[in-house]
Amino acid sequence: MRRVVSLFLQHWSTDRLRRKGSTQPPDGAAAGRPLVTAVADHGRRVVASTDKAASGLGITSGMTVTKARSYAPDLEVVDADFEADLEGLRQLAFWAGRRYSPIVAVAQPDGLWLDITGCAQLFDTERALVNDLHRRVAAFGLSVQIAVADTAGCAHAVARHVPAGRPVIIEPGDHRKAIALLPVAALRLEQQAVTGLRKLGFDRIEQLISTHRAPLAKRFGRDLHRRLDQALGFAPEPIEPIFPDALPSCRRGFMEPILTAEAFGSVIGDLVGDLVAQLVTMGRGARKLDCFFYRVDGHVQAIRVGTAKPSRDRGHLAKLLVAKVETIDPGLGIEAMLLAAPLVDAMGPEGAGLEGLMRRGRREPDLSTLVDALANRFGGRRLFRNAPSPSAMPERTVVRGSPVGMAGGATWDEDLPRPCRMLTPPEPIDVTAMMPDHPPAMFVWRRKRFRVTQADGPERLHGEWWREQGMEADRPMMVRDYYQVETQSGGRYWVFRLGDGENPATGPMQWFIHGAFA
């Protein structure tokens, strides 16, 4: 089922000026004062957009600057630059297209559309995707509201007419109910049509849904019910993705629409060959590929695959794309296909020189193809490699990294072995028998009793006072005494003690299990 995100930037023009002002302050865009942009209109200046502060004072678009100054005498006025606003939206769309969805379009003058169909698995859930998008856009200093729905029209309406501080997700199939109580202006109609409908008593969209169409169509034209049908999902509303000018891409158009997976696979092979030729000329390798399918009804679908490292292997790239062809609904047929590489990295000639010959002679296994296949099927976030990290605390010595990345300079100390399985956080155990300053002779963990036959230790760790915050930096409880113990059943565990039970400053003695050795 199609899922569309509408990203609404309520104060885009002024937020852009504020953000630009952090490095190059525009004239009159002082921080902390109400800010508006203005345009000339028949010898007077009219407000084009407002920031949050000016909007809160009652200043609205279309108001004369003279009247606006009566609301805010210290109002800052900057000439509107619609071309710069559009270019800023395009750059934001390119950023979102690389991270969230291959199908991103500008919704002028203050937003974006993202078709996230099939993209939620990259972030585990749809809510995780939109929450990440909301958090990152808000971190840019932009006023943002996000809505997700089955149709672009519904998402657009909810994002702009349902006040909320967090993303609004309309569950699949609920788009009609979501827009029923919204004003008719939410259908993106001309202001003249909105005014005429209100004079006739049509304030909400549900009133339009339940009214005979012929009389309204005769008076307001076809655009009224076209927008209504698009919001309800009865009429298509394609989202045409935008691409950077220098994006490596290639396209195939067909005289007759194609419908089968075999035909898609054949075309993908040709497109990959053309794209690889471009990448070779550029000295680049693909890290991310988007294949777009243009249906005869104007609807655009896409599949996205990624690679763990730059690649120009035609067979491998084509195989990754073909594996996702089954997610495409051809409808009445696909009339064109386009393949683009939105993310590329530098890559030298493959297999050239003595190094390449030696590498082929050793026949070292290349895990990148396996990693790519698994990541594109289950999501890149589900694959990782444990790598050592320099730290005095065991829970900080292991970090997650790229499954094919380099380990870096940090290594584990062979003289101080650590368990292959660490518990986060450490789990408390009940010690039922022990001698002073010795490891436990018996302990209970997860309601099971363990008798210790051999032990080694202690290894004292004092914590990392420079990384702790507040009072914890000076707490003696941060000092831990670790023991490696072997139980009667053959298990080997890593346990530690907090406190010694004698010094009041350290508190009562507590025991924890932190991991298990293989």
317-337 mean pLDDT: 91
Is 431 in the same domain as 300? no
The pLDDT value given to residue 269: 93
Indicate if 213 and 335 belong to the same structural domain: no
Residue 124: its pLDDT value, please?
A: 82
Q: What mean pLDDT, rounded, does the chain reach? A: 83
pLDDT score recorded for residue 474 = 42
Is the per-residue pLDDT at 357 higher than 80? no
CA quadruple 315, 316, 318, 322: dihedral sign? positive
pLDDT in tens, 29-49: 445 689 999 999 888 999 999
Residues 237 and 258 grouped into a single domain: no
Q: In angstroms, rounded to a whole number, what is the distance separating the alpha carbons of residues 188 and 205?
A: 12
Residue 363 lies in a domain: no
Specify if 415 maps to a domain.
no
Task: Please give the pLDDT value at position 274.
Answer: 93
Measured in whole angstroms, how far is the alpha carbon of residue 309 from the centre of its chain?
A: 20
Tell me: do 256 and 234 sit in the same domain.
no
CATH code at 162? Answer: 3.30.70.270
Instruction: Tell me the CATH number at 315.
Output: 3.30.1490.100
What share of the chain in percent tops pLDDT 90? 44
Taking the model in full, what pTM does it have? 0.69
Segments in 72-190 forming alpha helices (H): 82-99, 126-139, 152-161, 175-179
Domain identity same for 105 and 236: yes
On whether residue 215 sits in a domain, the answer given is: yes
pLDDT score of 409? 58
User: The tokens 């029923």 sit on which residue?
Assistant: 180
Please tell me whether residues 108 and 232 are part of one structural domain. Answer: yes
**How confident is the model over 414-429, as pLDDT tens digits?**
667 778 778 888 899 9
Final residue before a domain boundary, out of 226, 242, 258: 242
253 shares its domain with 160? no
> Which comes out higher in pLDDT, residue 281 or 394?
281
Q: For 468-511, how does the pLDDT look when each residue is reduced to its tens digit (9 = 90+)?
A: 554 344 444 467 888 999 998 889 999 998 875 555 555 578 89
Mean pLDDT lowest among 229-238, 265-274, 493-502: 493-502
**Residue 309, both tokens:** 């490292």
* 67-81 mean pLDDT: 91
Task: Verify that 265 and 116 share a domain, yes or no.
Answer: no
* Same domain (yes/no): 177, 266: no
Q: Which of 54-63, 179-188, 200-209, 348-357 has the lowest mean pLDDT?
A: 348-357
**431 plus 500 within the same structural domain:** yes
Residue 386: inside a domain = no
CB of 76 closer than 8 Å to CB of 57: no
In a domain, 409, yes or no: no
> DSSP letter string over 154-166?
HHHHHHHHS--SS
CA–CA distance, 263 with 269 (Å, rounded to integer): 10
User: Is residue 184, in this structure, part of any structural domain at all?
Assistant: yes
Task: Note whether 53 and 191 are same-domain residues.
Answer: yes
Which range among 48-57, 151-160, 358-367 shows the weakest confidence by mean pLDDT?
A: 358-367
* Alpha-carbon distances, residue 482 vs 8, 390, 414, 445, 492 (angstroms): 54, 19, 16, 17, 13
Lowest mean pLDDT among 35-44, 352-361, 372-381, 415-424: 352-361
d(CA 323, CA 439): 55
Residue 355 has pLDDT above 90, yes or no: no
Same-domain check for residues 67 and 185: yes
Instruction: Name which residue leads in pLDDT, 325 or 395.
Output: 325
**What are the CA-CA distances from residue 504 to residues 21, 201, 223 (Å)?**
56, 78, 79
Of 242, 260, 284, the one marking the end of a domain is 242
The pLDDT tens digits for 81-137 are 999 999 999 999 999 988 898 999 999 889 999 999 888 877 888 999 999 999 999
Final residue in a domain of this structure, among 300, 330, 353:
353
Domain assignment of residue 382, yes or no: no
The total domain count for the chain is 3
Q: Which of 192-196, 346-350, 411-415 has the lowest mean pLDDT?
A: 411-415
In a domain, 371, yes or no: no
What does the pLDDT read at residue 398?
A: 72
Q: Answer with the residue of higher pLDDT: 389 or 485.
A: 485
| Domain extent for 229 | 1-242
Determine if the peptide bond prior to 109 is cis (ω within 30°): yes
What integer pLDDT is reported at residue 92 of this predicted model?
94
More reliable by pLDDT, 149 or 518: 149
Q: Which residue has the tokens 């590329």?
A: 344
Q: Which residue has the tokens 């104060």?
A: 11
Q: Which amino acid is at 433?
A: A
- List pLDDT tens digits, range 445-473: 998 999 999 888 888 887 666 665 543 44
Contacts of 65 (CB under 8 A, 6+ apart): 36, 38, 44, 45, 46, 47, 75, 77
CA 384 to chain centre: 18
> 205 pLDDT band (50/70/90 cuts)?
very high
Q: What is the per-residue pLDDT for 376?
A: 67
